[in-house]
Amino acid sequence: MEIILLWLFLRISSIVVAGIASIIHPMSDLDRLVAIWPPSEPFSLWMKRLLVSPLFHWDARFYASITTYGYNGSNSTTAFYPLYPWTAKLLSFLGLDPQVALVLVSSLAGLAFIYTFERLARIDLSKEQARQAALFVLILPISMVLFIPYTEALFFLLAAWSIYFARKQRWWLASMFAVLSTLAKQSGILLALVLAIELWMSGPFYRQLSLKSLKAWAAVLPIPAAILFWTIIRNHIINPVHFEMAHWQDWFLSLLISPGTGMTATRAQMLWPWQLLTETVRTVIERPETRIHTLITISGYLIMVVLFLVTWRYLRPSYRVYSLIILLSSVFFFLVYYGALPVMSAFRHAYSAFPIFTAVPLLKTSKWQRVLIISICIVLFLLMMLAYSMEAWVA
């Protein structure tokens, strides 16, 4: 009940903060045309203005476009994986507004993820420790992505179920949820490693050549097949990509991320780490408006790295490998330079290493330290929600 009340508080608070930001700095036509107070007719439009519209910034707008109009090779919608907007599309067929459907899916998926994560943590921890783990994964400031129309909430839910069933040795159920999570976000392919490691650790039976063990190991194969399926559809049907040696870098980004990579940003190119550092310093000096974005992204990413390092010895091998690759792959987003923004979304992508939080309750902290951490995190959550809503930070 405590976790649900906290989730409800953060859900309401995020809407309130986004609403205030939309008054100060209206971003959409609906924000400009319909006052947030007093209520006006039509009532459904006013409710959308009050509760939904202020949440749509950055990637959320692309998800709304996909849900409403579908994918289009002439724009950057192909940069986004399909399961989240397709799920919202199913609800829109029932008469829900596409934006309302997206918010509903992410909200319910986020709440279900916290429940699932607590069950996952309960495998290794006491009931009280599992509750603390769920509390920490919810109050980390970047958890605000669970309360906006982004794919993370759905991805986390599916990934948590996949890991849970892998721990329970329900290999094909774990594979099914991993496939679905891969269609929600590309990080889902790393669940193949979790499944493989858990299989290997489950005993000598699964290391022997037998029909039953081969059947279990075959559960790993559909996971990379899912990302291959979407890559083929995205790169060869929706938006055909052709290799040209003179533009190999654009081709590589198109294949690895999306054919729409170049449309999503002013300039997308791969840089060496020292080049990125130079570009970051130059951009922060020349463009003061990028300073908040850069501070949140880099400091948030470093927090995830520190958490990983201090919990390393408590993590299962499968959690270590998964989280390590998530953190390293998040660095890739540092090495792709996007014009006016020197670094993008590394904090959000690093948050996908949520198994780290199963070990956080094992760290020695006093009650007052936990209260202080929770208080600071909630304040930072609201400030990051404000920065997102004012478009001062790209989540």
Alpha helices in the chain (DSSP H): 2-24, 29-33, 43-51, 59-69, 83-92, 98-122, 127-139, 152-167, 171-184, 191-201, 211-217, 222-232, 248-256, 261-264, 273-286, 291-311, 317-335, 346-350, 367-389
**Would you place residue 350 in the very low, low, confident or very high pLDDT band (cuts 50, 70, 90)?**
very high
Mean pLDDT across the stretch 178-204? Answer: 93
Residue predicted with more confidence, 224 or 371: 224
Q: Which residues contact 37 (CB under 8 A, 6 or more apart)?
A: none
Per-residue model confidence (pLDDT) at position 329: 86
Average pLDDT estimate for 293-320: 93
Rounded-to-integer distance, Cα 70 and Cα 47, Å: 25
State yes or no: pLDDT of 246 exceeds 50: no
Torsions phi, psi for 95 (to 5 deg): 110, -5
For 15, the token pair is: 């809407």
List alpha helices for 287-343, DSSP H: 291-311, 317-335
Check residue 244 and give its pLDDT.
44
Task: List pLDDT tens digits, range 71-124.
Answer: 877 777 888 899 999 999 999 999 899 999 999 999 999 999 999 999 999 999
User: Is residue 248 over pLDDT 60?
Assistant: no
What is the reported pLDDT for 249?
A: 54
The answer to whether residue 223 scores a pLDDT higher than 90 is: yes
Q: Give the chain's mean pLDDT.
A: 86
DSSP at 358: G
DSSP 198-265: HHHHT-GGGGS--HHHHHHHGGGTHHHHHHHHHHHIIIIIIS-----GGGHHHHHHHHHT-TTHHHHS
Looking at per-residue confidence, does 229 or 167 come out higher? Answer: 167
Residue 18 has pLDDT above 90, yes or no: yes
How far lies 72's CA from each of 66, 76, 163, 354, in Å?
8, 8, 33, 32
- pLDDT tens profile 323-345: 999 999 887 766 665 556 667 78
The H-or-E segment that residue 338 falls in is strand 336-338
Q: Can you give the pLDDT at residue 245?
A: 45
- pLDDT for 341: 66
Q: Using the predicted structure, report yes or no on whether residue 174 has a pLDDT greater than 50.
A: yes
Question: Can you give the pLDDT at residue 243?
Answer: 44
Residue 370 has pLDDT above 90, yes or no: no
What percent of the chain has a predicted confidence (pLDDT) above 70? Answer: 87
Angle 146-152-156 from CA coordinates, rounded to 5°: 95
- Neighbour tally for 45: CB within 10 Å: 15
Q: State residue 37's pLDDT score.
A: 84
Structure confidence at residue 284 (pLDDT):
78
Whether this model's pTM surpasses 0.85: yes
Q: CA-CA distances (angstroms) from residue 118 to 113, 114, 133, 148?
A: 8, 6, 7, 22
Distance CA 227, CA 188 (A): 9
Q: Give the three-state DSSP class for 345.
A: coil
The percentage of the chain sitting over the pLDDT mark of 90, rounded to a whole number, equals 56
Q: Average pLDDT, stretch 263-283?
A: 67
